[in-house]
Chain A
Amino acid sequence: MAASTSEVAPPTATPASNDYAPSFFTPAEWAFLNAACARLIPNDDNGPGAVELGVPQFIDRQMGTPWAEGALWYMQGPFLEAKAEFGYQSALTPKQQYRLGIKAIDEAVQAATGKPFAALPPTEQDAWLKRIEKGEVKSDALSLKSFFGSFLLKNTMEGAFGDPLYGGNKDMAAWKMIGHPGVRADYLEFVAEAKPYPYGPVSLHGKRG
């Protein structure tokens, strides 16, 4: 009964390559997604950012899974307004969240600045994302606060810190940044030690970093 989440495309040799063509997102959406990801996890001295890690590609690939169709969730109506403690009460699937959420943000930014989100300078992009995170940017179509916290930010972290199998975390760079050894995972001889683990990470495909 459990819909499989493993039905994703096999990894390419260079997961975060520039020549990736999105299969779900439109050019305008893709521009937004890349711009937003670059602010959520910026490229800096601590390591590559979300774009360099391949996170937009990860999110695009996730749009082809049963999860993105809401197939695993209880999606029968009526859908009523409820406090956050009652959890997700929207009729929108993750795919619809991205489609409507990106459109609503770009429209709000366009109306205020005359430009789409992706065309703003990084400091202004950060200010918009902070306002969206706090629920200060409203849309009739959906809760942008929920879109930001439950989808855009959450999926960005999944892509960055998940296995490269899914298209993000290129070269396991996010794992290297924090000191996580991936799926190496036999620590019998190390667990009682109070010193740094000596080996670099391994991915599900057996690649070593």
Chain B
Amino acid sequence: MGSKSSVFDMIGPVMIGPSSSHTAGVVRIARAAIRVLGGSPENAVITFYNSFARTYEGHGSDKAILGGLMDFKTDDPHIREAFDIIKERGIQYTFKSIGNASVYHPNTIKLVLTKGAKTIEVIGESLGGGLINIAEVDGFNANFTAQSHTLIIKAQDVAGAIAFISNIIAQEQTNIATMSVSRKGKNDLACHVIEMDSGIRATTIDYLKTIPWIKDLIYIPDIDL
């Protein structure tokens, strides 16, 4: 067990039913994913795995994921009409369900989202109580909760990269809660995922983007805000 719960975990969250893992958590996975993409997608391929593969329709997780792709919050009553609204907005989507991906968490969703020339792949897990873990972004291990402010930086595997990035964040007077770095191979691209207790300024984000060895940077503020 981590730290103790809040009063508003006991009296809350305010959410669209029926189940925190099948609706609230699913909405939040989609809201995190569209922030990785940088907006609502034009096309979405949604795969429900394992337990979710059989149960997503009965629990309305299909409406929840589409609502989340349109950035509806977990307590937005429009989630119920997500099929109609997404049709109006012209967003294309396909559902798939795969029952035997045993390496994945029982309640896993993969989203492949396209907007313009950009396509991203996000794998999210709904952990219960509306809590989520974004397990992968574009094939890199990510493992963030989207409950705090998250920075995802894809960078060349240069010496001193971690020290440089954490130094910049320190100048923002913000505290790093978790930091993980993974790479696909030696001297290949590394993916830095940093969760921070508070946000950082847009100017700092812009500065980081100018660093030659930083190839891609995604900033995801607390998705519930």
Question: Is this pair of chains taken from one and the same complex?
Answer: no
Residue numbers of A with Cβ under 8 A of B are: none
